[in-house]
């Protein structure tokens, strides 16, 4: 078995939690759908919460890897890469299995800020901010942290709007807004 049973479980649990929600997906459903026995699941994780935390750690890694890889592919310059974030997001939104951001949903279902699951979601957002800040700095922004916060705020807005599904192209809207704000942030004075 190349991928360990544990890794296989975490990856499959990710898919199910993402599709169904954390409270809605019970351990019996996970067992039935992953084909991994409950006994094994509880041997690897003492509680459901520990499994969820492992799922979120995997998601953090996979999502940031995917996003920045895609941004690099789509944009030659740092400025282009910032804008390409919204092209990457649009691709994500258009997949049939799209169901919002896993961390937004996690913090929604575990709304207390000191809950480990909520705290991990905050950490994910902080890591994103760090990476986008670096990109904004490369692009020559005077206040790269401010620009990064702006771009990420657009990202969260687009993610939520795309999921609720009442608008046609939130990624496109966010991209157009980003263009204006990036131009302003890179202006020579």
Partner DNA sequence: CATTAAATGAACAGATCTGTTCACAATGCA
Partner DNA sequence: TGCATTGTGAACAGATCTGTTCATTTAATG
92: partner contacted, choices a copy of itself, DNA, none (Cβ within 5-8 A by kind): none
- Alpha carbon distance 110, 131 (integer Å): 26
DSSP state of 97: T
Question: In angstroms, what is the minimal distance from the CB of 105 to a copy of itself?
Answer: 4
Distance CA 37, CA 33 (A): 10
CA-closest candidate to residue 18, choices 45, 76, 70, 58:
58
At closest approach, how far in Å is the CB of 21 from DNA?
11
Our CB check for a copy of itself shows the closer of 1 and 187 to be: 187
CA separation for the pair 46, 84 (Å, rounded): 41
Give which of DNA, a copy of itself, none residue 99 binds (C-beta under 5 to 8 Å, depending on kind): a copy of itself
Q: Which of 27, 58, 152, 181 is close enough to bind DNA by CB under 7 A? A: 27
**Which helix (H) or strand (E) element contains residue 3?**
none
With binding defined as CB under 7 A, does residue 26 bind DNA? Answer: yes
Q: Does 131 bind a copy of itself (CB under 8 A)?
A: no
Q: CB-hemisphere CA count at 13 Å for 92? A: 24
**What does the alpha-carbon distance between residue 105 and residue 17 come to, in Å, rounded to a whole number?**
10
- Work out whether 158 is an interface residue with a copy of itself (CB under 8 A): yes
**Which listed residue (23, 38, 43, 69) binds a copy of itself by CB under 8 A?**
23
CA distance 95 to 166: 16
Binding to DNA by CB under 7 A, coded x per residue (else -) over 45-64, reads: -xxxx---------------
**Residue 44 contacts DNA per CB under 7 A:** yes
Sites of contact with DNA (CB under 7 A): 1, 4-6, 26-29, 35-40, 42-44, 46-49
């Amino acid at each position: 078995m190349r991928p360990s049973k544990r890794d296989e479980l975490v990856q499959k649990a990710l898919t199910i939690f993402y599709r169904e929600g954390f409270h809605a997906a019970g351990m019996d459903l996970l067992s039935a759908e992953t084909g991994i026995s409950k006994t094994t699941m509880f041997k690897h994780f003492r509680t459901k919460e520990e499994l969820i935390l492992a799922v979120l750690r995997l998601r953090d890694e996979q999502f940031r890897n995917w996003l920045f890889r895609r941004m690099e592919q789509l944009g030659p310059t740092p400025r282009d890469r910032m804008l390409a974030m919204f092209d990457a997001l649009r691709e994500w939104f258009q997949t049939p299995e799209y169901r919002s951001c896993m961390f937004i949903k996690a913090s929604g279902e575990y709304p207390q800020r000191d809950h480990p699951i909520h705290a991990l979601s905050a950490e994910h957002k902080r890591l994103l901010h760090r990476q986008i800040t670096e990109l904004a700095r490369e692009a020559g922004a005077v206040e790269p942290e401010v620009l990064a916060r702006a771009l990420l705020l657009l990202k969260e807005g687009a993610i939520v709007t795309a999921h609720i599904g009442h608008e046609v192209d939130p990624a496109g809207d966010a991209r157009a807004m980003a263009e204006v704000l990036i131009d302003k942030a890179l202006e020579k004075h």
